[in-house]
Structure 1
Amino acid sequence: MSGKSAAHRIADDVYKAELQRLQTEFVKLQEWVRTTGARVVVIFEGRDAAGKGGAIKRITESLNPRVVRVAALPAPTERERGQWYFQRYAAALPTRGEITLFDRSWYNRAGVEKVMGFCTPDEHSRFLEQAPVFEQLLVDDGILLRKYWFSVSQGEQLRRFRKRRNDPLRRWKLSPMDLEAVNRWDDYSRARDEMMAHTDVAASPWYVVESEIKKHARLNMMAHLLSTIPYSEVALRQVDLPERPVDTGNYQRPDRENYRYVPDYAATLTREA
């Protein structure tokens, strides 16, 4: 589904300025959600290395984790495998005044579980029938649900895998499942197409994010999400900081020797410089 040329990229200073502007808007959205009691669910789906995590990071880095939570569920436990499929995802849904960002979601069943054989054909078919019904229930209950599919080309995905492999800070992100995805590209494509055909519905449509250029994808997704929610700026209470109180002499700080201070490692770097 990707095909956008990477030849034209926005300048870094333009990207940083627009990212900051959008992040400021997300703070406004957060405060609107918190004060109005709205509930927001955003689903991030797409192939491995498509840029989902990077977009989530840029959205959340200036937000309150008590209001905006990221749900990245691990593989289901034996107990969870015996439950209604949507049950563990329902437990992660927001309460009033919260936003939940699903870094992968119940759509695991339509993708990796289908392709890797982690579910039966009947379970997969049942999921495609039930997902729109489940989402309709969420929407009917007042949840603002948004679903994003990050689309990346085969060549760009492989390039990002190689970059991860060579980066000691990101090598942990490269799993055997990622490598298997390279060999099963067409299988994942067919699974995605079938998923879209069944679950791209009026009440909970899919929005495709062209993710060949990560920075563009982040700005596009963030701007679009903000445009779909009717938030408004909430006037925050003005905080007046008190003057520093006068030292009354009634408190005497204990000697430093009574505490275990962390060694000044930074000072050694300063001396070396």
Structure 2
Amino acid sequence: MEFEDDSNKDWLEAELEDTLDEDFELELSDPMLSMEIRKIYNKQHPNMLDRKVYFRNLLRLQAELIKLQDWVQQTGQKVLIIMEGRDSAGKGGVIKRITQRLNPRVARVVALPAPSRREQSQWYFQRYVPHLPAGGEIVLFDRSWYNRAGVERVMGFANEDQVETFFQDVPEFERMLVRSGTIVLKYWFSITDEEQQLRFLMRIHDPMKQWKLSPMDLESRIRWEQYTKAKEEMFARTNIPEAPWYIVEGNDKKRERLNCIEHLLSQIPYAEVESEKVQLPERVYNEEYERQVLPDELYVPKVY
């Protein structure tokens, strides 16, 4: 079907504008901030990446992610991406931009809640195993088994014997995943002490983000140094050649997103998959069919 008249062209342009509106809406990260907080934030970030440069590169990288998705589907590859980092470090924003244009049946996000009493009695890795990727899938873990090396250890939810067992087991567990044909990528999103403090203040003053600030987050501010020590030992004991850690600097959210996606794409040997040209079939019309008039109460009120 060709767009032969101006009305069809106008419709297509309107659809594209609507898509861009969704992108801009996603980028409005501090819509309810007071002017004072906004001034402080801008002062602390004088060299933020230009918005045009950011969007141009984000769209380019998302187009490549679609090629990666097609390759994963065709080859039956299994891709596991582990996202870890301090609270408010921006991993959620990166995950959103990675999955934004992908098929949710191919690329899915796993964010498990606190373990139940039954899960606490299981082998530690057991509750994560059912969520691992099958052939043709990309799975992103928004936090993972590394909870044991971080929050569980620092907050006292796991004792030192459990932590030591974890450190002995996790390298071999990840080697087993790699030997099974799974591509394993592990990212740590890093921000400074001052940046986390500023982001927590922003959440306190932003009604749209207050839900993100849990009592555990507030406690993490108190235990910053304990988390730092735990992170350092985690790197030292789990940074293996088969599944190394990659640190993403996150003080500038836009650079953080672009750098992570660019690196992710560079670590997977995907190739563009040839596909058949899609053609829209002609609609079948039945002259005898008469569309029924539905009652008004079935329709959502037109408030806007």
Deviations 1:191-249 (A, max 9, x none): 0001011001111100000111111111000000000000011112211112344x432
Note if 1:198 corresponds to 2:213: no
Question: Residue 135 of structure 1 aligns to which amino acid in structure 2?
Answer: E
Structure 2 regions of 5+ residues with no counterpart? 1-43
Note if 1:92 corresponds to 2:131: yes
Note if 1:127 corresponds to 2:128: no
The 2-side partners of 1:224 and 1:39 are apart by 18
Deviates more, 1:8-17 or 1:19-28: 8-17
Give the counterpart of 1:73 among 112, 129, 139: 112
Question: Residue 59 of structure 2 aligns to which amino acid in structure 1?
Answer: Q
Give the counterpart of 1:145 among 184, 201, 216: 184
Question: Residue 302 of structure 2 aligns to which amino acid in structure 1?
Answer: D
Give the counterpart of 2:63 among 24, 35, 40: 24
In the other structure, the counterpart of 2:41 is none
Note if 1:44 corresponds to 2:83: yes
In the other structure, the counterpart of 2:277 is 238
Once the two structures are aligned, what percentage of the paired residues are identical?
53
**1:10 Cα offset (Å):** 2.1
The 2-side partners of 1:194 and 1:236 are apart by 47
Say how many residue pairs are matched.
261
Note if 1:223 corresponds to 2:265: no
The 2-side partners of 1:162 and 1:228 are apart by 36
Note if 1:262 corresponds to 2:262: no
In the other structure, the counterpart of 2:249 is 210
Give the counterpart of 2:220 among 158, 161, 181: 181
**1:6 Cα offset (Å):** 4.7
Question: Residue 17 of structure 1 aligns to which amino acid in structure 2?
Answer: R
The 1-side partners of 2:180 and 2:170 are apart by 16
Question: Residue 263 of structure 1 aligns to which amino acid in structure 2?
Answer: P
Question: Residue 97 of structure 1 aligns to which amino acid in structure 2?
Answer: G
Question: Residue 65 of structure 1 aligns to which amino acid in structure 2?
Answer: P
Note if 1:252 corresponds to 2:290: yes
Moved beyond 4 Å, runs of 4+: none
- Computed over aligned residues only, the root mean square deviation of the Cα atoms, in angstroms, reads 1.2
The 2-side partners of 1:237 and 1:94 are apart by 27
State the TM-score, normalized to the length of structure 2.
Answer: 0.84
Deviations 1:5-44 (A, max 9, x none): 9543321100000000000100110111011100000000
Question: Residue 172 of structure 2 aligns to which amino acid in structure 1?
Answer: V
In the other structure, the counterpart of 2:150 is 111
Secondary structure of the residue aligned to 1:87 is coil
Structure 1 regions of 5+ residues with no counterpart? 267-273
Give the counterpart of 1:164 among 181, 184, 203: 203
Secondary structure of the residue aligned to 1:264 is coil
Deviations 1:32-65 (A, max 9, x none): 1011100000000010000100000000010010
Secondary structure of the residue aligned to 2:128 is helix
Question: Residue 210 of structure 1 aligns to which amino acid in structure 2?
Answer: E
Question: Residue 50 of structure 1 aligns to which amino acid in structure 2?
Answer: A
Secondary structure of the residue aligned to 2:146 is helix
The 1-side partners of 2:205 and 2:276 are apart by 48
In the other structure, the counterpart of 1:270 is none
Deviates more, 1:101-110 or 1:5-14: 5-14
Note if 1:53 corresponds to 2:53: no
**1:250 Cα offset (Å):** 1.5
Deviates more, 1:250-259 or 1:147-156: 250-259
**1:177 Cα offset (Å):** 0.4
In the other structure, the counterpart of 1:136 is 175
Secondary structure of the residue aligned to 1:159 is helix
Deviates more, 1:55-64 or 1:236-245: 236-245
